Structure 1
């Protein structure tokens, strides 16, 4: 009974502390920096600018269809160049508003942006997350991780796991070598850049074989990096590999993200 009372007191103090902090420093919109009611959110105006990807969309690429073509329909692009993964989901189309959120997390250490991004990813990927045995972030090479101090894909994956009670398994996929920045490269250049750059470590292959896995990344541009990751997991025996990103670039020729 005493322990329960202490827990209630502790929760009350945390709520009071948060209220006091919000009163002294009001939470700001993650995009326009205007005052809002709660942290890790957007104002009404910026929220209305988000380009959500809703059904109907391609089962393989998550690209929106102009009209409903039936369940599990696949686009002409996916038929012409099938991806190595099974299903793809993205929360938003990559536009100016989504760019600000991605850059806030990736380059400006604003982890509160990651909270919002992860919540939207859980919503967009509910069906593929439900059947997942484990969630794997796209790994960074160790020197790039050292320079950035954290992997934004891993941060998103960890938050998604907390919200869905799924298993976070970053050790199942390793980046073998450093690759040049993908910015400015076309699709084929990106594919060559990351070819054979990822591997499932020998000690992790038993944990991959026969499993349904979800790969997490912040943005899917051409999909070259996720393709390389999915191929490595499939080569190690994964039964299903799905991909979930926060944003999808609608016109991959516009590669300066």
Structure 2
């Protein structure tokens, strides 16, 4: 018997012995989110700004929005798998604050599909997660961006460097902050690890995160990467908060 049938048999036995349920509807599922819920709630193929991933009209798919044309961010492109809206926002919160790490591989698979479907998107040469500050990482025990980046790296076949960038200090929580406060919070927050400079120079870096809200965090990180020689920076985020 070949290895593939054996693997399929073992996977079937594990599903029978350890049945899983959809995190959204509670029905039996082979993944963290069942296929019907994924089809219903993930906005696959939605038209977005190629630079910041904010929603666009269908006729403008793959173009840059007016805000990015007027004031270009430091990053060059963004791919988002879904909107940060109910009920997917609750999954993100469970992953981010509730230790539901089993959700990360599903987020990565959903993001992988969005990356492959993004019109004209050039794959990065190297992936890195948005880093957490030392106190927040110690408190939480994990970095949710890294938990998504690990399986995404495997799916895309792109190397992952978890320590490419560092957060110099623990910035205030961005949730609940105004746009100006978010921007000020992120000033001088990041640096490239001294032993990673050669990994950055002249390369296209993909930055992975769970949620993109105002974009100030990702913009500050992209500006840092470019200051240290990155040729291009693209954001790969699971969810994008729609503009209000």
Q: Say if 2:58 is the partner of 1:98.
A: no
Of the candidates 206, 225, 229, which is equivalent to residue 217 of structure 2?
225
On the 8 A contact 2:55/2:242 being kept in 1, the answer is no
Cα 1:83–1:130, aligned 2, differ >3 Å: closer, same or farther? Answer: closer
| Unaligned 5+ runs, structure 1 | none
Q: Which moved more, 1:224-233 or 1:8-17?
A: 8-17
TM-score, normalized by length of structure 2? 0.90
Q: Say if 2:170 is the partner of 1:178.
A: yes
Q: Which moved more, 1:215-224 or 1:116-125?
A: 116-125
SS of residue in 1 equivalent to 2:170: coil
Q: Say if 2:24 is the partner of 1:31.
A: yes
TM-score, normalized by length of structure 1? 0.86
Give the Cα separation in 2 of the matches to 1:76 and 1:214.
24
Give the Cα separation in 2 of the matches to 1:37 and 1:118.
17
Q: 1:197 Cα deviation (Å)?
A: 0.6
Q: Say if 2:71 is the partner of 1:81.
A: yes
On the 8 A contact 1:221/1:249 being kept in 2, the answer is yes
Of the candidates 207, 210, 213, which is equivalent to residue 202 of structure 2?
210
Q: Say if 2:195 is the partner of 1:199.
A: no
Q: 1:119 Cα deviation (Å)?
A: 0.7
Q: Which has the higher contact order (CA 8 A, sep 6+)?
A: 2
| Larger gyration radius, structure 1 or structure 2 | 1
CA RMSD of aligned residues (A): 2.3
Off by >4 Å, runs of 4+ in structure 1: 7-10, 127-130
Q: 1:53 Cα deviation (Å)?
A: 5.2
On the 8 A contact 2:15/2:30 being kept in 1, the answer is no
| Unaligned 5+ runs, structure 2 | none
SS of residue in 2 equivalent to 1:195: coil
Give the Cα separation in 2 of the matches to 1:51 and 1:159.
19
Look up the match of 2:148.
156
Q: 1:35 Cα deviation (Å)?
A: 2.1
On the 8 A contact 2:47/2:58 being kept in 1, the answer is yes
Cα 1:31–1:9, aligned 2, differ >3 Å: closer, same or farther? Answer: closer
Look up the match of 2:229.
237
Cα 1:227–1:191, aligned 2, differ >3 Å: closer, same or farther? Answer: same
SS of residue in 2 equivalent to 1:226: helix
What are the residue-to-residue correspondences of 1:112-151 with 2, within 5 Å?
112-126=102-116, 131-151=123-143
Q: 1:47 Cα deviation (Å)?
A: 2.9
